[in-house]
Amino acid sequence: MPFLPEALRDQSSRDADPFGYIRGVFAFLFGGGIVVALVLAATGMSPKALVLAGALWVIFGAFSGLLDGVVEPLVEFFARALPSVGLFREVPKFAAEESLLAQGHADAAAEAYRLHSEDPALRARALARRAEVLAGPLKQPALAVTELEALQNGAARLTPLDDYLVGMTLATLYETALHDRGKAMGELRRLLDRYPDSRQARFIRIRLANLRDAHFDTTPP
């Protein structure tokens, strides 16, 4: 059984919010302007500054709505559509390996994923899938953890998407295979601290909260 939902395992590198920095800059600028206008209005130096504060708030709200409701959906639509014309690299589905697994050839599938991992562009995704096979049908969770930790701590810097994929797979291995909820929570906390504005931050927070509840519910007084 896969550790992550298919939608998360095969999503593209648009995992992090592409407009997070833009939102942050505009929030800082408009927020600063609103604070200054409110101070001027409160001190009586410029009573009309209250109108300016309201106008800035409305403009910022309209800008945020435009990003969320128009620009971001359009970017995502074209990013999904353009692989069909070869302008974006399509995420590999590993269909042959999945077929091997379906036929009961877990050893062959694990080896095929290992061979894919020799390609730096596929390394994290292939090793995450290999970890699922090692920890599942092949009953070698320790080897799966060792390989992913080596990738995580290696010299090559992981992209945010790869780091997220490896981290989430490790967290699941720690929890379900090694029965170490503390280590699983530590890995989720690391991801949340590193990518607080990513699209998956909410998913990580929910999972972290569920793990904490399960951990403290079973901890003896």
How many Cβ atoms from other residues are within 10 Å of residue 14's Cβ?
Answer: 15
Listing DSSP states for 172-213 in one string gives HIIIIIS--HHHHHHHHHHHHHH-TTBTTHHHHHHHHHHHHH
Q: Which residue has the higher pLDDT, 34 or 90?
A: 34
pLDDT in tens, 80-119: 444 444 434 444 568 899 999 999 999 999 999 999 999 9
Q: Is the pLDDT of residue 70 over 70?
A: no
Q: Is the pLDDT of residue 163 over 90?
A: yes
Distance CA 3, CA 25 (A): 36
Contact in structure between 158 and 166 (CB atoms under 8 Å)? yes
Q: Is the pLDDT of residue 139 over 80?
A: yes
Domain boundaries of the chain, sorted by first residue: 20-85, 93-217
Q: Predicted confidence band at 187 (pLDDT cuts at 50, 70, 90)?
A: very high
Residue 125's pLDDT is 93
Helix 123-135 crosses helix 160-172 at what angle (to 10 degrees)?
Answer: 10
Q: Which residue has the higher pLDDT, 100 or 218?
A: 100
Assign domain 93-217 one CATH number from 1.10.1760.20, 3.20.20.80, 1.25.40.10, 1.10.10.60. 1.25.40.10
Residue 204's pLDDT is 92
